[in-house]
Amino acid sequence: MIGIALIRITFGVIWAVDASLKWQPAFRANFGRIVAGVGDGQPGFLSWWFRLWQLVVAGDRAPIFALLTATTETYLACALIAGFARRITYTVGFVYGLFVWSVAEGFGGPYVPGTSTDVGAAIIYSLVFLALLLVDAGRFSVDRLIVKRVPAWRRISD
């Protein structure tokens, strides 16, 4: 099980690097443009989805969503490294990865035969979170220490 702990911690370090980039002023300043550009070239049946998110983050709301993004990724990084509230963390990470994949990465598209072959990274992150949810026994985690003092914590961690 030390291997699973090392995967979890390494995954947390990757999220920490990503989170540090989200705290940069340029990310906050360009967040609205990032979301606005994702819909370009996407299939027409998905246009409602991208327009919805362009409206949600438009104007003065963009920096708030950029801050929420940076905060979420920082939480995921710290919780993965520490092994904190694993069940909740893995579930949040799974859902957040799907959200990033569907909004910021545009489902990995647009898919153009012969030119685009990448489905996007966030869907893979979601699958890693799902795998951790299914197999992580909690070795080398702060959850294990908390459960010793607060047995009810097991519902949150395991």
Tell the burial category of 76 from Cβ atoms under 10 Å away from its Cβ (0-12, 13-18, 19+).
buried
pLDDT of residue 15: 97
Q: Model's pTM, two decimal places?
A: 0.91
Tell me the domain boundaries of the chain.
2-157
Over residues 20-74, the pLDDT tens digits come to 999 999 999 999 999 998 888 888 899 999 999 999 999 899 999 999 999 999 9
Q: Which of 99, 65, 70, 93 is nearest to 80 (CA)?
A: 93
Over residues 15-26, the pLDDT tens digits come to 999 999 999 999
Half-sphere exposure of 64 toward its Cβ, with a 13 Å CA cutoff? 6
